[in-house]
């Protein structure tokens, strides 16, 4: 099944008890703008807040192209029973042998602290292990982002160290921690 998913570049819908994870689409631009224009959401990433929905639309079009080429699996998180987008989660930066990838996630600030990221993370880890046959997933988080650090440790990710200590070529990595989980 994993080769079939990669070959056809499909992002399957994943379900949890409270969430529906589906492939990101251009119609999600307002939600992406809402998340990425929020200063609270952006304080731990090295990216300027989005200034308009056009930037969100351009981002989504780039992600769709990457999905079409099998470079990323990118989902939006919808509350079950509604069409409200509350966040995103993705697998990206796959190793050449397709055994390792990095995971990234974001939630609307109003939805944080309610266990949604935990549900989504567990679903994507299960998918990565059972369908993609990944052996390892890495995650990078800012040292001051306590909710993200707690999410990773609660899901059995192990701290490997600061990103710039592991890879000295990484600029501005002195506050970014690298975590990993073996599947």
pLDDT in tens, 134-161: 999 999 999 999 999 999 999 999 999 9
Q: How far is CA 32 from CA 75, 99, 124, in A?
A: 12, 29, 20
Characterize the bridge pairing of strands 85-92 and 100-107: antiparallel
- 78 burial (CB, 10 Å; 0-12 / 13-18 / 19+) is buried
Distance, CA of 82 to CA of 59 (rounded, Å): 24
- Residue 6's pLDDT is 46
- Residue 8's pLDDT is 39
Domains of the chain: 2-132 (3.40.630.30)
pTM for the full predicted model:
0.92
Residue 8 CB contacts under 8 Å (≥ 6 apart), including other chains = none
Over residues 35-77, the pLDDT tens digits come to 999 988 888 888 899 999 999 999 999 999 999 998 999 999 9
For every residue of 107-126, DSSP letters joined together read E-GGGTTSSHHHHHHHHHHH
């Amino acid at each position: 099944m994993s080769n079939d998913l990669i070959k056809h570049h499909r992002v399957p819908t994943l379900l949890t008890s409270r969430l529906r994870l589906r492939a990101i689409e251009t119609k999600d631009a307002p939600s992406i703008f809402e998340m990425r224009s929020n200063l609270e959401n952006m304080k731990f990433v090295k990216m300027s807040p989005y200034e308009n929905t056009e930037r969100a639309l351009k981002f989504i079009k780039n992600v769709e192209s990457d999905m079409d080429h099998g470079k990323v699996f990118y989902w939006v998180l919808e509350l079950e029973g509604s069409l409200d987008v509350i966040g995103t989660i993705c697998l990206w930066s796959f190793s050449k042998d397709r055994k390792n990838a990095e995971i990234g996630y974001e939630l609307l600030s109003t939805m944080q602290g309610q266990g949604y990221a935990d549900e989504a993370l567990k679903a994507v880890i299960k998918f990565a292990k059972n369908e993609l046959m990944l052996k390892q997933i890495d995650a990078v988080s800012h040292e001051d982002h306590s909710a993200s650090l707690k999410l990773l440790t609660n899901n059995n990710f192990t701290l490997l160290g600061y990103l710039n200590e592991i890879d000295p070529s990484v600029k501005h990595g002195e506050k970014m921690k690298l975590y990993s989980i073996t599947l």
